[in-house]
Amino acid sequence: MTFLSTPLRTALTELSQSEDTAFFVYDLDKLSAHLNALTQQDVVKLWYAVKANPLSAIIQTLDRAGFDFDVASSGELNQVLAQGIAATRVLNTGPAKSKRQIAHFMAQGVRTFVAESTNQVAWLQAAAAEYHTTLRILLRVQLRWPDSEKNPLGGDSLTPFGLGVNEWQALTLSDYPNLDFAGLHIFQWGNMLSSDKLASLWSQMVPPLQALAQSLGMQLRILDLGGGLGIPYTFTTSGLEWPKLLDALATIKATSGVDELWMELGRFAVGECGYYVNPVVEQKTNYGAKQLILAGGINHILRPAVTNQAFPCQLLRDSNATPSDFLLHGPLCTALDSLGQHSLPSDINENDWLVFSQCGAYGFTESMPYFLCHELAAEYVLQQGQVICLRDAQSAAYYLR
């Protein structure tokens, strides 16, 4: 799945010859082909969860493939609008919608919101009345499962996302004349790789959501299942099959009786198009273990430290040397800066570059670039055989004051 094609390897090799430090490359042709396969169906309306990768060229590629946009902050909204996308194609989800942020979204023309608290409902009503308009609202529901069945994202632990059924039940919809309560939103699971498991989770959610809608006197027209579709982070794990998922989604749509199913995809949409290319500083042996010290680490790609799951990694050049297990370390002065254990050719050395794949989502913007004042990674896109630089590497002088 993630081995490098010859043109991609050639492009990365050429870039590595002109770059001094780690950089990201996003293959937009690969991304387009993947996205077009996702949108060619009429089962589920697809939004792009912009937080996965807010780069302009990525957003534009999703736009061309027919996605609309789910944003969580004013910064993400501005970035989407700056790509020429209409505010009517934006959905706002997120637990921290201040009155100030709601005012900004209203002023920009956003009219679809996922409400995550009773305050948000009241503030959205006030904003809608001020604009003499009606907002399309989905209520975000946080379900709990019977003791034995754990919520895989965080056990049965409480999260700030949405409200439980009992809390929502206290809402009187008619108190909010400018809000069209069109549906419910539910999203509790991350990086799921089994379509059967997803199908089973989704189908278990339908009865409690239908019961909530009924007790609120709401006609459940839209059901938003959020994200959570996974991608594999090893070369040997296989990914989700979209046709199988569509079958499961079609069943959910039919049994729940909704007009529209929505999902906001992040990782599954863009994760596989991105590569993080990182120079080796040195190889050393320590207490008998082989270590590689790399120019970039969790300052550029934090996810391994957060999830304890490495990005898949390969050597950029060809090598016939026998593979060995290496522990990979970034440049930060913390043991947290580990990019995992990988089997790599044993002749790897200080002239080499490593390519980490599956880095298109939760990479550059989910990192800690300021610690120790190393460079910010450059971002490149590859489009129709051309390499385009969207931002050069920047030294710490770029942000230090």
Ligand X SMILES: *Cc1c(COP(=O)(O)O)cnc(C)c1O
- Compute the least distance from the CB of residue 372 to ligand X, in Å: 28
Nearest to 336 by CA among 359, 302, 361: 302
Of 316-335, binders to ligand X (CB under 6 A) are none
Joined tokens for residue 299 = 């300052």
Cβ-contact 294, 354 below 8 angstroms: yes
d(Cα 127, Cα 348) in Å, to the nearest integer?
59
Q: Does 274 bind ligand X (CB under 6 A)?
A: no
The interface region with ligand X, picked from 123-131, 151-159, 226-234, 289-297 by CB under 6 A, is: 226-234
Q: Does 95 bind ligand X (CB under 6 A)?
A: no
Q: Nearer Cβ to ligand X, position 360 or 369? A: 360
Percentage helix, strand, coil, to 5, in the chain?
35, 25, 40
Q: Nearer Cβ to ligand X, position 227 or 363? A: 227
- Compute the least distance from the CB of residue 72 to ligand X, in Å: 6
Q: What one-character-per-residue DSSP string does 243-302 give?
A: HHHHHHHHHHHHHHT-SEEEEEESHHHHGGGEEEEEEEEEEEEETTEEEEEES-STTT--
d(Cα 118, Cα 136) in Å, to the nearest integer?
16
Of 286-315, binders to ligand X (CB under 6 A) are none
Joined tokens for residue 15 = 């870039």
Please pick, from the candidates 61, 93, 142, 256, the single residue that binds ligand X as defined by CB under 6 A: 93
Could you tell me how many helices (H) and strands (E) the chain has, helices first?
A: 11, 17
Please pick, from the candidates 67, 168, 181, 187, the single residue that binds ligand X as defined by CB under 6 A: 187
Give the three-class secondary structure for 181.
strand
- Compute the least distance from the CB of residue 337 to ligand X, in Å: 24
Q: Nearer Cβ to ligand X, position 46 or 280? A: 46
Residues listed for the chain: 401
Contacts of 64 (CB under 8 A, 6+ apart): 32
Q: Does 227 bind ligand X (CB under 6 A)?
A: yes
The interface region with ligand X, picked from 76-84, 220-228, 235-243, 336-344 by CB under 6 A, is: 220-228
Of 28-67, binders to ligand X (CB under 6 A) are 49, 51-52
Joined tokens for residue 202 = 């989704």
Q: Nearer Cβ to ligand X, position 4 or 190? A: 190
* H or E segment to which residue 136 belongs: strand 135-140
Q: Nearer Cβ to ligand X, position 179 or 225? A: 225
- Compute the least distance from the CB of residue 142 to ligand X, in Å: 12
Please pick, from the candidates 54, 162, 183, 226, the single residue that binds ligand X as defined by CB under 6 A: 226
- Compute the least distance from the CB of residue 303 to ligand X, in Å: 11
Q: Does 265 bind ligand X (CB under 6 A)?
A: yes
Q: Nearer Cβ to ligand X, position 52 or 249? A: 52
* Phi/psi at 100 (5° precision): -65, -45
Nearest to 9 by CA among 371, 393, 353, 384: 353
Q: Does 163 bind ligand X (CB under 6 A)?
A: no
Q: Does 344 bind ligand X (CB under 6 A)?
A: no
d(Cα 314, Cα 401) in Å, to the nearest integer?
37
- Compute the least distance from the CB of residue 39 to ligand X, in Å: 15
Nearest to 25 by CA among 282, 315, 380: 380
The interface region with ligand X, picked from 5-13, 210-218, 259-267, 386-394 by CB under 6 A, is: 259-267
Q: Does 190 bind ligand X (CB under 6 A)?
A: yes
Please pick, from the candidates 228, 274, 312, 360, the single residue that binds ligand X as defined by CB under 6 A: 228
Q: Does 258 bind ligand X (CB under 6 A)?
A: no
The interface region with ligand X, picked from 206-214, 248-256, 262-270, 316-324 by CB under 6 A, is: 262-270
d(Cα 377, Cα 300) in Å, to the nearest integer?
7
**Which residues of this protein are in contact with ligand X, per CB under 6 A?**
49, 51-52, 70, 93, 187, 190, 226-229, 264-268, 361
